[in-house]
Amino acid sequence: MNDFQFHRPASLAEVFDLLESYGGDARLMAGGTALVQQMKQRLAQPGHVVSLGGLRQTPGLASIDAAADYHGAVRIGALCTHRQVETSPVVQRQIPLLAHAFRQVATPRIRNMATAGGGLVHGDPNQDPPPALIALGASVILTSAKGQRTLPVEQLFVDYFETAVRPGEVLTGILAPPLPPGAGAAYLKFLPRTADDYATVSVAVVITPGRNNTCQDVRIALGSVGMTPVHATQAESRLRGQPMTQDTLRACADAVAEEIDPLDDYRGSAGYKREMAQVFTRRALNQALAAAGQPGRPG
Ligand SMILES: Cc1cc2nc3c(=O)[nH]c(=O)nc-3n(C[C@H](O)[C@H](O)[C@H](O)COP(=O)(O)OP(=O)(O)OC[C@H]3O[C@@H](n4cnc5c(N)ncnc54)[C@H](O)[C@@H]3O)c2cc1C
């Protein structure tokens, strides 16, 4: 690891000052689970590491709340650990899909350190929370010395390990809406190797049945199938407004193959992942429908 100066500011204002002073030579550190690995491998060699650990007492940064001014969304502070999200009574009650997705990350040891914000800014397409957040239609709050902006989670991911976070910005929170009334959801992580591995393929589905067994709305997002998490909008359009039979569910699941571009790696070849993406999307659609109390009818 290269030599670096460690800073532990106690306020966001101090963080912004440090980012301004050291520019591209500074890196934020939250849980450190990804950054320290990158520094050990010399993939990152910052001269200044700015810890966010001293900000956990800052209101809203390490807490989860469902206040009315978020239009029904649950606000998750960026410094909440994965374990905090997974075990939060508010998340478990209002968005069980999210509690489940955060629980799929690695081991309790990692989940006790890794933060919700750090995970997103890491920008790894193999992570578990992003597909669930995209399927829910969640947004992130990015704060800088100049103010705040919100961005849909799917727009956060621009390329392999690259996000839309601008220099000087800190991800301060996640706004996760609850499921629409009557909707069902599922997150499936295909793990053929070990239980604590990254996904070979992962799929999150939120589906809202309409009248006469038609699909009123559906959102599908996948992980480990390309350079970024993928929101499968074309596959969704194959099912939205259609009768929900096993045939239409299969056609929708098969259509994800056109929207993904998996990489060959030791978790599987690109072709294998493409097939598994279809299989697991079909399973996730059926599981989400069952959760909505409407198992898909035979075609
Ligand atoms: C052994 C191991 C197994 C893992 N398995 C899984 C898995 O199965 N599924 C999965 O989803 N993930 C997995 N992960 C990845 C893990 O989820 C990430 O390492 C973790 O979420 C990163 O969070 P952190 O708080 O530790 O981030 P850090 O390491 O502190 O930071 C990560 C990046 O985000 C930046 N950053 C941090 N916080 C902020 C912020 N608030 N605003 C702006 N930038 C910020 C940092 O500068 C850095 O670039 C695994 C990691 C390890 C080490």
The pLDDT value given to residue 194: 85
Which residue among 156, 176, 196 closes a domain?
Answer: 176
| CATH number, residue 196 | 3.30.390.50
Probe ligand 1: pick from 56, 81, 127, 267, max atoms within 8 Å of CB?
Answer: 127
Q: Which two tokens stand for residue 208?
A: 């809202």
Which residue among 144, 176, 208 closes a domain?
Answer: 176
Please identify which residue in the block is written with the tokens 């599981």: 287
Q: DSSP characters for 235-250?
A: HHHHHTTSB-BHHHHH
DSSP code for 265: B
| CATH number, residue 62 | 3.30.465.10
Residue 78 Cα: closest atom of ligand 1: 41
119 Cα: distance to centroid of ligand 1 (angstroms): 4
Residue 165 Cα: closest atom of ligand 1: 43
Listed residue (83, 68, 77, 82) closest to 12, CA to CA: 77
What is the phi/psi pair of residue 19, to 5°? -65, -35
Max mean pLDDT among 83-87, 177-181, 189-193 falls in 83-87
Residues 189 and 168 in one domain: no
Which residues on adjacent β-strands are paired with residue 205? 186, 220
Residues 132 and 233 in one domain: no
The pLDDT value given to residue 184: 96
| pLDDT (tens digit per residue) in 39-97 | 999 999 999 999 999 999 999 999 999 876 777 899 999 999 999 999 999 999 999 99
Residues 214 and 157 in one domain: no
Residues 170 and 87 in one domain: yes
Residues 64 and 164 in one domain: yes
- 89 in a structural domain: yes
| pLDDT (tens digit per residue) in 214-258 | 999 999 999 999 999 999 999 999 999 999 999 999 999 999 999
The pLDDT value given to residue 295: 66
| Residue span of the structural domain in which 109 resides | 58-176
- 14 in a structural domain: no
- Rg over CA atoms, the chain: 19
Probe ligand 1: pick from 25, 51, 122, 202, max atoms within 8 Å of CB?
Answer: 122
Q: Which two tokens stand for residue 75?
A: 């606000």
The pLDDT value given to residue 299: 44
pLDDT mean over 14-30: 97
| pLDDT (tens digit per residue) in 248-294 | 999 999 999 999 999 999 898 999 999 999 999 999 999 999 999 87
Residues 81 and 160 in one domain: yes
266 Cα: distance to centroid of ligand 1 (angstroms): 21
The pLDDT value given to residue 39: 96
Give 87's contacts (C-beta < 8 A, 6+ positions apart).
Answer: 99
User: How high does pLDDT run on average in the chain?
Assistant: 95
CA 166 to chain centre: 19
Give dist(CA 63, CA 18) in Å, integer.
Answer: 24
DSSP code for 40: H
Give dist(CA 178, CA 155) in Å, integer.
Answer: 20
Residues 64 and 171 in one domain: yes
Continuous H helices in the chain? 12-22, 35-40, 82-87, 89-94, 96-103, 108-111, 116-122, 129-136, 153-156, 233-239, 246-255, 270-291
What 3-state class would DSSP assign to 28?
A: strand
Residues 127 and 145 in one domain: yes
- 285 in a structural domain: yes
What is the phi/psi pair of residue 32, to 5°? 80, 0
For the chain, how many structural domains are there in total? 2
Give dist(CA 236, CA 215) in Å, integer.
Answer: 10
Residues 220 and 156 in one domain: no
| pLDDT (tens digit per residue) in 144-161 | 999 999 999 999 999 999
Residues with CB under 6 A from ligand 1: 27-35, 37, 52, 78, 105-106, 110, 113-115, 117-119, 121-122, 127-128, 165, 170-171, 198
pTM for the structure as a whole: 0.96
34 Cα: distance to centroid of ligand 1 (angstroms): 4
Residues 66 and 150 in one domain: yes
What 3-state class would DSSP assign to 294?
A: coil
- 297 in a structural domain: no
Residues 165 and 189 in one domain: no
Give 219's contacts (C-beta < 8 A, 6+ positions apart).
Answer: 134, 135, 136, 137, 205, 206, 207, 231, 236
Which residue among 119, 151, 176 closes a domain?
Answer: 176
Strands 184-190 and 201-209, by their bridges, are antiparallel
Residue nearest to atom 11 of ligand 1 (CA): 127
Give dist(CA 51, CA 12) in Å, integer.
Answer: 11
Residues 119 and 191 in one domain: no
82 Cα: distance to centroid of ligand 1 (angstroms): 10
